[in-house]
Structure 1
Amino acid sequence: MSVRIGVLTSGGDAPGMNAAVRAVVRAGITAGVEVYGIYEGWQGAVDGGRFIRPMSWEDVSGIMIQGGTVIGTARCAAFRTPEGRRTAVLNLILAGIDRLVVIGGDGSLTGTDVLRDEWPDHIDALVAWGQITAQDAAEHPTLRVAGLVGSIDNDMVGTDMTIGTDSALHRITEAIDAIASTAASHQRSFVVEVMGRHCGYLALMSAIAGGADYAFIPERPPAADWHEHMATVLRRARNAGRRSSIVVVAEGAADREGNPITADAVRKVLADEMGEDARVTILGHVQRGGVPSAYDRWMASMVGCAAVDEVLYGDREPQVIGVRANRPHAMSLLEAVKDTKAVATSIAEGRYEEAMAARGHSFVQMAHVFQRLSEARPNVVREASAKRIGVMNVGGLAPGMNPTARAVVRLGVDQGHDMVGIQGGFPGLIEGDLRDLTWGDVEGWEAAAGANLGTRRSIPGDGDLYAVARSIETHELDGIVIIGGFQAYRALSRINAERKRFPALSIPIVVLPASLDNNLPGLQMAVGADSALNVDVQAVDRIKQSATASKRAFVVETMGRRCGFLALTTGVAAGAERVYLNEDGITIADLKHDVDAMVRAFGRGQNFWLSIRNENASEFYTTDLLTRMFEAEGQGGFSVRGAVLGHVQQGGVPSPFDRINGVRFAASVIDWMSAQFETHSAQHTFATPEGMRSVKELDDLVDWHARRPIDQWWLVLKPVLEALGRRPGDADA
């Protein structure tokens, strides 16, 4: 009997589970093994029969766009008993399965580990009772397990994100954006309750992304007099001109005495102590539903492939496959579950610092940043030593520039600086198009598309540097924050090289990374890249739907210049068969291989074929040429269409991640700038998640000709695409 892998989803459903199931099925088939779906979770394992059945390549076609889980999930009381687990073992062995990929929360993974530990005892009992043969027992002596965490709460310790969290954050942020507009219209307060019994991730991050005024999370409960502090913060914002107030409450929030803080309790405080006409919105299970985000698709695909490798080739205790720095990260299932449950215990026992620390550095950092933003003073008495900081955008438009600028301004004002908006990049600086920005001037920017400060791609040439220096002197700028992409880094390098000729350039200058191409050094994601990726994936979803009535291939062109981030991640998240990258180039041999595979696939009955092309993948093999070539080679068996997504990728409301990422960078940039003033330094740096790096390091990190970083982390997705995009043997002669 060949090797067989079982895959099941258990516990609460989460968007992205289907992408993980698809990855397990196709990666398993690519590896030459059989994959069985265990339907309705552990209940299906206990019931056996039709609930355990083989899954083919086609069975998982088109499921990534769907929310929930197509193989179902259910609570199973029987599985909690030894007798129920023994029945599950019997059914698995009868199906020839001794390797499992389980997608679920900590409860599901705990039950899985119990089953693995009991497996040999159940085998012995089943042999003794004559329910399986000695040969069956010899062929399946142990159970190999890999876990994938499907949980919208992002509550598993040891992984950056869990499957479904990003999608849930999209649902919540969309709701807060909608609520904010009606709240402002009526000058009304809203209390929004989100999921998170023991984990405040969704509440905290949605409060940051949605520009909320206040938030309650389980890991950091307020004192018993929290209502007085909340009222003070909200009144301050109202007095500064804010027309509404939004408070986000995690369902598990409580004060330090253990008293629950419910959405209705917050509403009552707003009504009684502030006279606010407050309304409550409980989002409930809408957070679990809907189309998965781009991140939840490509991340789930990546870890799903890694889980197959683990159960096929791993020889160690059961592992949970999580993600660290956008790469698969394996960790002990037993330790991960233990550490996760310990957080709830720490909260219950009042050890809140331990609970916060267990959530990780990023969580702690963002909790602190949100508190700073929430309590940022709209009006600060100007000190004689106050510094003037210019803020500008440089380069192509990147979604998220506005929320980033908002955070820079408000945090700068709170630290006593005078914030100056430079309109239209370096040309605006040269022309003197500057204006002072107050706390209220950036109200509403947290969800605004575009760039309210404008942006220009042009950077100072040799003849412009004198004018830049003169404008800095004229407007008495003490520092500059540049929000931008590759052109901003070029400008920083040029300014740094000429600072001795123009002493006015010797002020602290920092570039905060914002680029939909994600082609910037020293980071995982630039502000704007996630928004553009979601636009691309949503566009491809619609393209797929348009082709359901006929046999059709599409060649879709994304932005990215010579950087393949958008093309490759879109290809994985949208289920492309082929992606063309500048990093690889295109040859006629490649195209012949692809045409053969395409003709073979359509001849076998496939109705759709998707190719993604990075806009500068090849100077000669353009999107139009590929479209016409594929059409000609199809010889009427299928039609081919091209689609250039173009500047639609720059538009739209910034995604939750881009808003959060922008705020994170803004806080570190303002702190760095204040430190520069205190130490009388004048460094030129660029921001990374690990801190500021000197402009002098750029030559070692950047391929200036190709306009991309030398280290491109997203290339780890190439084998994922190859494993999932094309059935083995499709291009064989």
Structure 2
Amino acid sequence: MDTRLGVLTSGGDAPGMNAAVRAVVRAGLDRGADVYAIYDGYHGLIEGESHIRKMGWNDVGGILHRGGTIIGTARSEEFRTLEGRRRAVRNLLRHGIDRLVVIGGDGSLTGANLLRQEWADHLQALVASGEIPQEIAARHPFLAIAGLVGSIDNDMHGTDMTIGADSALHRITAAVDAIASTAASHQRTFVVEVMGRRCGYLALMSGIATGAEWVLIPENPPDMDNWEERMCQVLREGMRMGRRDNIVIVAEGAQDRHGNPITSEYVRRVLEERLGEEVRVTVLGHVQRGGPPSAFDRILSTLTGVAAVETVLEATAESEAYLIGIHENKIVRQPLMECVAKTHAINAAMAAQDFETAMAMRGRTFQESFRIMRTLVRAMPHPPTPGQRRIRFAILHAGGPAPGMNAAVRAAVRLSVDRGHLPVGVQRGFRGLIQGHLEEMGWMSVNGWAPVGGAELGTSRKVPGGSDLYAIARNLEEHQIDALMIIGGWAGYQAALRLYQERENYPAFNIPIVCIPATINNNLPGSELSIGADTALNSIVEVVDKIKQSAVASNRCFVVEVMGRYCGYLALMSALATGAERVYLHEEGIRLADLEADIAQLIRGFQHGKRLGLMIRNENANPLYTTSFLAALFEEEGGDLFDVRIAVLGHLQQGGSPTPFDRTLAARLAARGVEFLEESFATHHAEAPAVCLGLQHGAMQVTPLEQIPRLMDERYQRPREQWWMSLRPIASMLAKPDPYFQPESRPASHEE
């Protein structure tokens, strides 16, 4: 008996839905199932006929980068009726479909579960009416459901991120960055309204990412009745401190403590009346859900789509409906209706003005981010507490520049100053520490740094040794440095380890040391993600999207070289996010047999109407089979079928404005770094702690510095355990040529 599954998108569209559809179709076909796309959501399910179409491998080629959903979406009132759902079941049975992947919000997923619960009753009624024969009903005794949350609001319990939320943050952050420049030019205040319905995620994270001066979210309204005056006071103080612009971000569902809506227009009127100046409102609207998906959304959609197929194909009559999401950087499945119930419970808590419960149910990261935001939006810090132990700590960068370094310094400085401490900036990394280029930093020293790429403090790859160590010890003593915060890559970790190992010779090094991972290569142990890696990945994806448009027009193969040194993170993840048909990694190496197979695959594809070839190569994948060699080899063997071009992306991967993810990750890591230093001074030990911070399993973790050599492959400067390599089989499966290719019956694909 053939296994058939359907996929539909329902409710509001979200960037990444197409990537999910592509993953469902190809994963289903790879596992031997027939896959049907149901066009226009539940409306198409009820209409049947041409709305339910069998999909082939190449039917989802060239859609990974497209926003919206190519199979359409619609809200269906008829599906809310019993008769409408019975028609939907009839149409599914007519196509032999009894497994369904639904991509939508909580309403769409609740509807899918209701269909599953009623399935047996609908079978009985349809058999009784003669609309389907008994043998068809017997072959399809149950409906298996897997749900993916497609929503820019990130308002669903059961997943840390919903499909589309990261892309929406990109749109908001880019818009606010642009608004901030004109606001600063005119010394003007702007009120920016963002989407999110009853969830403040987009407002909160964009507030941290853009350095907004005030943020209003529904989960935690202002805790005072005269909040309007407090808001105006903060904005006035900021202008007096030298700030030239004011950005107030308002979530569309914002409310006060009594449940009264706080609209962007109301905020504008308050600011104009009390500040006595013109205030502009920008309602971002549906621009937040449009455009191509971010790299994160493409990868999230792909991984959850594959997992959804596995879930429905494994289902039995006893299985319940599952929601497929991401939790602590791992793809997970949870009971669908349990997640829906908890989502509704959050909304109920806010409606009952139980904001403490609502905040708690949003999760640890949401609460942590809210606490950080409350400090960062202050116009000036709290004064130091009398008698407080004030920590004087140096902040420096080490290694190559990584987008988000400035956001980390900004957060570290402001959070520490607000706690009464004394941050000292070091210019040009360890070179500056050797030469004594240290300067105390204050609240306004880092004003406007959040969206700025590069490293305003400067950085270097210098690892101290010999006489450098004496110079560093002398400068630490002369500047009375109590602790050290190093924000950087492998060179920073090596330097920190060197100081730690030299403590017996230099007592000045016996101070708390905390390393914060910041490198586009994402090659550091103790953290699954480093500051800068997300920005680099998005830079690669944006360029490759443009390359693919050029290649399609010319029957061309591109070999794209990306950074990463000996670490394959950027290469593998960019291949997943762009649909590259081959990725060359140092971890796997390159063999002649591999190249022969790749050439044969390219030739077959272009002979059958293929118009684009895309290969991604890690810069150090192989010392002999270089990017130039691969291009020349493919060009020679391809003959007149296709030509070959090279794109070495180079240092553009290190440049540009940091993504919202990198900005918020930087703030969270910096906050944990400041807390660690405080904890170190609160507990007295003969030997001061030296650690690396990192994001592991979704939470901030501390790794002792002496463990780093054990966790690191020092020869190739990458972690011994690379979590992303577990995704390699998925990337290979999705990128392989159509196993059912029939050139006479299928149009040429714009993708692999």
TM-score (norm 1): 0.98
Which of 639, 654, 663 aligns to 1:635? It is 639
1:31 CA displacement? 1.2
Residue 541, structure 1, aligned to residue 545, structure 2 = yes
CA contact (8 A) 1:236 1:378 kept: no
Residue 353, structure 1, aligned to residue 356, structure 2 = yes
**Counterpart Cα distance in 1 of 2:596 and 2:233:** 68
Task: Quote the sequence identity (%).
Answer: 54
* 1:56 paired residue number: 56
* 2:496 paired residue number: 492
**Counterpart Cα distance in 2 of 1:693 and 1:376:** 34
Residue 569, structure 1, aligned to residue 573, structure 2 = yes
* 2:19 paired residue number: 19
CA contact (8 A) 1:560 1:615 kept: yes
After superposition, the C-alpha distances for 1:37-88 in whole angstroms (9 at most, x for unaligned) are: 1000000000000000111122111111111100000111110001000001
**Counterpart Cα distance in 1 of 2:552 and 2:581:** 17
* 2:73 paired residue number: 73
**Counterpart Cα distance in 2 of 1:376 and 1:483:** 25
CA contact (8 A) 1:482 1:488 kept: yes
Q: Secondary structure at the match of 2:450?
A: helix
**Counterpart Cα distance in 2 of 1:383 and 1:439:** 19
* 1:84 paired residue number: 84
After superposition, the C-alpha distances for 1:526-564 in whole angstroms (9 at most, x for unaligned) are: 100000000000010011011122211111111001111
* 1:377 paired residue number: 380
1:516 CA displacement? 0.3
* 2:287 paired residue number: 286
**Counterpart Cα distance in 2 of 1:546 and 1:617:** 25
CA contact (8 A) 1:378 1:440 kept: no
Deviates more, 1:487-496 or 1:10-19: 487-496
Counterpart of 2:335 in structure 1: which amino acid? S
After superposition, the C-alpha distances for 1:666-691 in whole angstroms (9 at most, x for unaligned) are: 11111111222333452111112323
Deviates more, 1:676-685 or 1:404-413: 676-685
After superposition, the C-alpha distances for 1:389-408 in whole angstroms (9 at most, x for unaligned) are: 11111001101111111111
Q: Do the aligned partners of residues 200 and 25 (structure 1) sit closer, same or farther apart at CA in structure 2, a change above 3 Å counting?
A: same
* 1:557 paired residue number: 561
1:327 CA displacement? 2.1
CA contact (8 A) 1:39 1:73 kept: yes
Deviates more, 1:654-663 or 1:585-594: 585-594
Q: Secondary structure at the match of 1:464?
A: helix
**Counterpart Cα distance in 2 of 1:521 and 1:276:** 51
Q: Secondary structure at the match of 1:247?
A: strand
Structure 2 counterparts to residues 379-394 of structure 1, below 5 A: 380=383, 385-394=389-398
1:276 CA displacement? 3.5
CA contact (8 A) 2:395 2:423 kept: yes
**Counterpart Cα distance in 1 of 2:411 and 2:641:** 54
After superposition, the C-alpha distances for 1:449-473 in whole angstroms (9 at most, x for unaligned) are: 1111111011102332111111111
**Counterpart Cα distance in 2 of 1:462 and 1:599:** 57
CA contact (8 A) 1:378 1:438 kept: no
CA contact (8 A) 1:518 1:525 kept: yes
* 2:321 paired residue number: 318
Deviates more, 1:377-386 or 1:670-679: 377-386
Counterpart of 2:297 in structure 1: which amino acid? D
**Counterpart Cα distance in 1 of 2:233 and 2:34:** 62
CA contact (8 A) 2:213 2:379 kept: no
Q: Secondary structure at the match of 2:461?
A: coil
**Counterpart Cα distance in 1 of 2:534 and 2:39:** 33
Deviates more, 1:687-696 or 1:194-203: 687-696
Q: Secondary structure at the match of 1:530?
A: helix
CA contact (8 A) 2:238 2:379 kept: no
1:728 CA displacement? 5.1
1:233 CA displacement? 2.2
Deviates more, 1:471-480 or 1:360-369: 471-480
1:274 CA displacement? 2.4
After superposition, the C-alpha distances for 1:420-440 in whole angstroms (9 at most, x for unaligned) are: 111101011111112221211
**Counterpart Cα distance in 2 of 1:57 and 1:561:** 34
After superposition, the C-alpha distances for 1:333-383 in whole angstroms (9 at most, x for unaligned) are: 111111111110010011111111111100011011111212363474697
After superposition, the C-alpha distances for 1:92-129 in whole angstroms (9 at most, x for unaligned) are: 11111111110000000000000011011111111111
* 2:252 paired residue number: 251
Q: Secondary structure at the match of 2:621?
A: coil
Residue 453, structure 1, aligned to residue 454, structure 2 = no
Structure 2 counterparts to residues 568-607 of structure 1, below 5 A: 568-607=572-611
* 1:174 paired residue number: 174
**Counterpart Cα distance in 2 of 1:118 and 1:287:** 36
Q: Do the aligned partners of residues 466 and 166 (structure 1) sit closer, same or farther apart at CA in structure 2, a change above 3 Å counting?
A: same
* 2:719 paired residue number: 709
* 2:683 paired residue number: 679
Q: Secondary structure at the match of 2:35?
A: strand
* 2:749 paired residue number: none
CA contact (8 A) 1:597 1:730 kept: no
* 2:264 paired residue number: 263
CA contact (8 A) 1:533 1:570 kept: yes
1:607 CA displacement? 0.8
CA contact (8 A) 2:58 2:738 kept: no
Q: Secondary structure at the match of 2:333?
A: strand
1:729 CA displacement? 4.2
**Counterpart Cα distance in 2 of 1:104 and 1:351:** 28
Q: Secondary structure at the match of 1:665?
A: helix
* 2:195 paired residue number: 195
Counterpart of 1:175 in structure 2: which amino acid? A
**Counterpart Cα distance in 2 of 1:598 and 1:341:** 50
After superposition, the C-alpha distances for 1:572-612 in whole angstroms (9 at most, x for unaligned) are: 00011111111111111111121121111112211111111
Q: Secondary structure at the match of 2:557?
A: strand
Counterpart of 2:58 in structure 1: which amino acid? E
* 1:207 paired residue number: 207
CA contact (8 A) 2:173 2:210 kept: yes
**Counterpart Cα distance in 2 of 1:527 and 1:138:** 55
CA contact (8 A) 2:529 2:694 kept: no
CA contact (8 A) 2:241 2:379 kept: no
CA contact (8 A) 1:668 1:691 kept: no
Residue 645, structure 1, aligned to residue 649, structure 2 = yes
* 1:402 paired residue number: 406
Structure 2 counterparts to residues 458-497 of structure 1, below 5 A: 458-497=462-501
**Counterpart Cα distance in 2 of 1:533 and 1:205:** 20
**Counterpart Cα distance in 2 of 1:701 and 1:359:** 33
Structure 2 counterparts to residues 408-427 of structure 1, below 5 A: 408-427=412-431
Counterpart of 1:688 in structure 2: which amino acid? G
Q: Do the aligned partners of residues 278 and 376 (structure 1) sit closer, same or farther apart at CA in structure 2, a change above 3 Å counting?
A: closer
**Counterpart Cα distance in 1 of 2:266 and 2:104:** 33
Residue 516, structure 1, aligned to residue 514, structure 2 = no
**Counterpart Cα distance in 2 of 1:314 and 1:396:** 48
* 1:129 paired residue number: 129
Tell me how many residue pairs correspond in the alignment.
Answer: 732
Residue 340, structure 1, aligned to residue 366, structure 2 = no
Q: Secondary structure at the match of 2:221?
A: coil
1:142 CA displacement? 0.8
1:491 CA displacement? 1.0
**Counterpart Cα distance in 2 of 1:506 and 1:516:** 30
Q: Secondary structure at the match of 1:562?
A: coil
Q: Do the aligned partners of residues 673 and 376 (structure 1) sit closer, same or farther apart at CA in structure 2, a change above 3 Å counting?
A: farther
* 1:664 paired residue number: 668
CA contact (8 A) 1:594 1:731 kept: no
1:237 CA displacement? 1.9
- Where structure 1 has 5 or more consecutive residues not aligned to the other structure, the ranges are none
CA contact (8 A) 1:597 1:731 kept: no
